[in-house]
Amino acid sequence: MKNKEQKIDQIVLETLSFEHLFSVALESGQPFAAWKMPFENTQSIVVSLQKEALKVSADLEELPNGFLAHPFQAKDKQAYLIPADIYYTTEMDHIDFSNSYDLSIKERVEHEIHSFDPDQPLKRWKGNMLKEHFPPTSKEHFTSIVAESVEAMQNEEFTKVVLSRTKEAKLKEDFSPFEFFQKLSESYPAAFVSICYIPNVGLWLGASPETLISVDEHGIFKTVALAGTQASNGISPKEASWKSKEIEEQALVSRYIINCFKKIRLREFEEIGPRTVAAAHLLHLCTEFKVDTKTTNFPQLGTVMLDLLHPTSAVCGMPKEIATDFILRNEQYNRSIYSGYIGPIGLENRHHLFVNLRCLQLFNDHALLYAGAGITADSDPEKEWNETEIKMDTMLKHLNS
Ligand SMILES: C=C(O[C@@H]1C=C(C(=O)O)C=C[C@H]1O)C(=O)O
């Protein structure tokens, strides 16, 4: 990975805590993101010192370090970038502070962090939440569009479509985004747990099980084909068995990824799986694909594959254009960054972008949960509704507990 020149200054603080910086960022209304990587304990946070997130094209080699968030559908193909003007992880004893800003901003941030009172409940953040959203999806509407898509697929108009919906959940009076983030981090070690705030996009929290692309510090590129869902009900991944509907649904996603490699004539990929993986109380089928970008001399593979892969048939369908069109005509709401992608880029010399799933958006007094299910010609509308219910439980279980 190319090393970008970035001038960094530091704020060394004696009594710094992650909660301090998280709370100051949340209350400030500045774009920020905090996260925990799968199978890592470290929590990280970036805060932008500009009022708005940057609108950028997802060129990983060129962008400054930060946190990227791309909607499911963006006509201009632009993503939001929260630049790491301030960067801190629970492994550090100081804050990295981009010194392209003048001293007075640094002093203001330092003052706000020092004067933050952890015993006072946070209130200001609620004023920064979006004021409205599309009405939540009724069961009647969801099952009727599933039935309509099944009929279209039986007529061979397309092969797969992922249909999604939303649901509202009240927040308790003293709901704390920080406590919720901590609860998710503790409960889901295998997930990418994140919170991100982008003005006009809102405050989003999630526990994603699905990597879209990653390129690590050694130049190893990875992506996965994740699909097929069942409640684990105490069954371990090794004991799980799958019906042909799910096996085909996941194989379709694998074929889609292999096709993307074919488009760029890349043959040197390793394919591992499919195997059953656990995500919270659910099981999925997963095939992992790996490429060494150094031996293949393809340093920009992450950027190229990102452009080809998104949206994959795990969140959109096959063929992509027809499935997208069906989704946009029938879901009756805007997915925003649900089923888009989010994650840190450049930091610690790696990029890791996840499909934004098992997530919710916060409003003043309630949350809006998002989930979808892969529909094929063999789907049953009632079962697909239930699948979205159990996916939403990933968040719902911890929301007001
Ligand atoms: C669309 C979602 O999940 C995706 C769809 C799956 C399926 O259809 O079985 C499984 C995992 C994800 O790739 C979601 O969680 O909202």
- For 40-76, what is each residue's pLDDT tens digit? 999 999 999 888 999 999 999 999 999 999 999 998 8
First-last CA distance in the chain: 42
Q: What is the pLDDT of residues 91-143, one digit of tens each?
A: 988 888 876 666 777 777 778 887 888 788 888 999 999 999 999 999 999 99
Task: Identify the residue whose tokens are 């797969």.
Answer: 160
CA of 217 to the centre of ligand 1 (A): 28
| Ligand 1 neighbour 209 (Cβ under 6 A) | no
Angstrom distance (rounded) from CA 46 to CA 63: 15
> What is the number of the ligand 1 atom nearest to the C-alpha of 312?
13
Angstrom distance (rounded) from CA 175 to CA 130: 17
Angstrom distance (rounded) from CA 234 to CA 246: 19
Q: Is the peptide bond before 311 cis (omega within 30 degrees of 0)?
A: yes
| Ligand 1 neighbour 210 (Cβ under 6 A) | yes
Q: Whose CA is nearest to atom 1 of ligand 1?
A: 372
- State which of 315, 327, 337, 394 you would mutate to test the pocket of ligand 1, scoring each by most atoms of that ligand within 8 A of its C-beta: 315
Angstrom distance (rounded) from CA 357 to CA 311: 13
* 258 three-class SS: helix
CA of 401 to the centre of ligand 1 (A): 25
| Burial of residue 206, with CB atoms counted within 10 A of its CB: 0-12 exposed, 13-18 middle, 19 or more buried | buried
> What is the number of the ligand 1 atom nearest to the C-alpha of 355?
13
| Ligand 1 neighbour 185 (Cβ under 6 A) | no
- State which of 247, 284, 385 you would mutate to test the pocket of ligand 1, scoring each by most atoms of that ligand within 8 A of its C-beta: 284
Average pLDDT of the residues in 21-49: 95
pLDDT of the residue at 134: 96
The highest-level CATH class for domain 139-178+211-399 is alpha beta
CB atoms within 10 A of CB 118: 10
Report domain extents, the chain. Answer: 8-126, 139-178+211-399
CA of 278 to the centre of ligand 1 (A): 13
ipTM above 0.95, yes or no: yes
Q: How many degrees, rounded to 5, is the angle at CA 216 between CA 215 and CA 220?
A: 70
Range with top average pLDDT, 12-26, 108-122, 313-327: 313-327
What pTM was estimated for this model as a whole?
0.96
CA of 374 to the centre of ligand 1 (A): 6
23-27 own/partner pairs: CB under 8 Å, 24+ apart: 23/116, 23/118, 23/122, 23/178, 24/109, 24/112, 24/113, 24/116, 25/86, 25/197, 26/122, 26/125, 26/177, 26/178, 26/197, 27/122, 27/124, 27/125
CA of 208 to the centre of ligand 1 (A): 10
- State which of 250, 391, 394 you would mutate to test the pocket of ligand 1, scoring each by most atoms of that ligand within 8 A of its C-beta: 391
| Ligand 1 neighbour 228 (Cβ under 6 A) | yes
pLDDT of the residue at 1: 47
